[in-house]
Amino acid sequence: MTVKSDIEIARAAKMQPIGEVAAKVGIPAEALIPYGTTKAKVSFDYIDAQKDAKDGKLILVTAISPTPAGEGKTTTTVGLGDGLNRIGKKAIMCLREPSLGPSFGMKGGAAGGGYAQVVPMEDINLHFTGDFHAITSAHNLLSAMIDNHIYWGNSLGFDTRRVAWRRVLDMNDRALRQITNSLGGVANGFPRTDGFDITVASEVMAILCLALDLKDLERRLGNIIVGYTRDKTPIRARELKADGAMTVLLKDALMPNLVQTLENNPAFIHGGPFANIAHGCNSVLATKTALKLADFVVTEAGFGADLGAEKFFDIKCRKAGLKPDAAVVVATVRALKMHGGVGKDGLKEENTAAVAKGCENLKRHLENMAKFGVPVAVGINRFITDTDAEVQEIVKAAEALGARAFVCTHWADGGAGTEDLARHIVALTDEGKAAFRPLYPEDMPLREKVKTIAQQIYRASDIACDASVETAFKDLEAGGFGNLPVCMAKTQYSFSTDPNKRGAPTDHVVAIRELRLSAGAEFVVVITGEIMTMPGLPRVPSAENIRLNDAGEIEGLF
């Protein structure tokens, strides 16, 4: 059997006009702003008009702690959505938009894979509907207005050592991580240290993904803290009068993007914030819109459940008033083997003992889901090399915690490969046992929030903060930010802060390095390790092999 590549499968897809896809969930043609024939934004007027409709059920797809073996969270999200549609439920998928920059570094798109993909894949992985470009523009307009304000007299009193707003590009470009700007003399301003992040790391991205509507977007943009005076008084974007123009630049980007799966089911792909210094979920507006239109909305969150699901619940769901009805934790035999101590070279040999040992990682994530009051199931993303005995270890591990696990073959079979999981999700949510609750209350002090997550979710014995971090906690509380949720920036590879500690480590201590306030996004970022906000390109970037072939098709991108 020849296995087709993702791009071959995507190219062979029989896409329906986006209007037909929209009609399946009741969206009329006049509510669509088309971008070509297979992509569209959904208008605010239409979204507003749905506000009294009953919400469908919200299913989060999350995963065990990632390993180099791969898990398949996005493919499972797509597969489960297609599976629900196959068994007669109206389901919409909500996914994040891929970042353009990394496409030119390592080969590989971010729109699912195999027979569980969203299309048009090339467009989604390139400029798509321009959302990220709009975010880049809005972010950099604010940057330009800061230096322009300083140039023309600095009446707000920026301390140029304390400008807190960098610049962004949707590009992997290590040369821009740290720069000195405003060089060249009087006409170019006051030289200062600056740098660029990748666009997905922009606070504007997080804001766009959490905003409830255009008004809320503008309010949040105005709240961004762009720098401080010499006496450390914060200066907001609103004081620069940048919030209005930024909102204008983002007005189209805030509308959710509708595309389709290979099985012609509707999918919203909208927003894509970093999963470390931001919350790592698609936009609130896409999720809320989908809930008004479908019986089931299947969505995903970045990284493993300790980071992605926790932020989805404690930040996105809490702030947007969402009540998830179930969660699926995706696991693979291969990844669990790695959690069980097997190296990358040993993945092909059957090793039930390693799978059983690795299931400690899975089980902890399952336990954690219960702490949010959300019923859980396990999706086993099956590879051809997995043996039945290995799969059975996962089923047993799940059952030990009262959860059921289902083999999913969506990569090879599309929605047909997730029907069992889909039926179980329907049954599970019909039981009405979901009683969503965030892990911590809003009025808990920030330091306590971090400790609660560390102990309850990461199973750390404690957190460790040096004097500067303790001061930062106190300053934030004093500044009136104590009621914000915290956004943990921790390695995704381990429950601990050591990426090499696979499985289910305990009794570790989570050292807090730094706190960063995202006053517009409305969370406090808690940094526990090195955070890279501007990636670089590898020695041989995939860009070198990307080109149009004679048929006008893109080669080398996937």
Catalytic residue, from 107, 404, 474, 516: name it: 107
Judge contact between 519 and 476, C-beta under 8 A. Answer: no
- On whether 379 is known to bind a ligand per the annotation, the reply is no
Residue of 75, 136, 287, 289 marked active site: 75
Q: Is 292 considered catalytic here?
A: no
CB nearer to its own copies: give 172 or 418: 172
Q: Which is nearer to its own copies, 231 or 550 (CB)?
A: 550
**Cβ proximity to its own copies, 177 vs 371, nearer residue:** 177
Q: Note if 312 is an active site residue.
A: no
Sequence-separated (6 or more) residues with CB below 8 Å from residue 129: 35, 39, 41, 252, 253, 257
| 201 burial via Cβ count (<10 Å: 0-12, 13-18, 19+) | buried
- The answer on whether 71 is annotated among ligand-binding residues is yes
Residues in the chain: 558
473 in catalytic set: no
Of 107, 68, 3, 65, nearest in space to 345 by CA:
68
In whole angstroms, what is the distance from residue 419 CA to residue 421 CA? 5
Annotated catalytic, 96?
A: yes
State the first-to-last Cα distance of the chain, in angstroms, to the nearest integer.
21
Contact criterion met (CB below 8 Å) for 280 and 525: no
Question: CA geometry: angle at 320 spanning 207 and 463, to 5°?
Answer: 75
Residue 556 three-state SS: coil
> Is 313 assigned a catalytic role?
no
Where would I find the H helices in 87-130?
121-125
Distances (CA, A) of 94 to 97, 290, 319, 324: 10, 8, 18, 13
Q: Write down the least CB distance from residue 551 to its own copies, Å.
A: 12
Residue 139 CB, nearest approach to its own copies (Å): 10
* Secondary structure of residue 420 in the 3-state scheme: helix
Closer by beta carbon to its own copies, 85 or else 140 = 140
The answer to whether residue 236 is catalytic is no
Shortest Cβ distance from residue 8 to its own copies (Å)? Answer: 18
Residue 182 CB, shortest distance to its own copies, in Å, is 4
Q: Quick check: is 411 catalytic?
A: yes
Answer yes or no: is 74 a known binding residue. Answer: yes
* 199 noted as active-site residue: no
Q: Is 292 annotated as a binding residue?
A: no
CB 201, min distance to its own copies, A: 16
Annotated active-site residue in 39, 57, 73, 364:
73
Residue-wise over 334-352: b if at least 16 C-beta within 10 A, else e?
bbbbbbbebeeeebeeebb
Question: Least separation, in Å, of the C-beta of 543 and its own copies?
Answer: 4
- Select which of 104, 196, 296, 383 is catalytic: 383
Coil, helix or strand for 527?
Answer: strand
Catalytic residue among 110, 275, 434, 460: 275
- Flag whether 69 is marked binding: yes
CA 461 to chain CA centroid, Å, is: 28
Q: Which residues are catalytic?
A: 73, 75, 96, 107, 275, 303, 383, 411
Binding residues: 67-74
Binding residues for ATP: 67-74
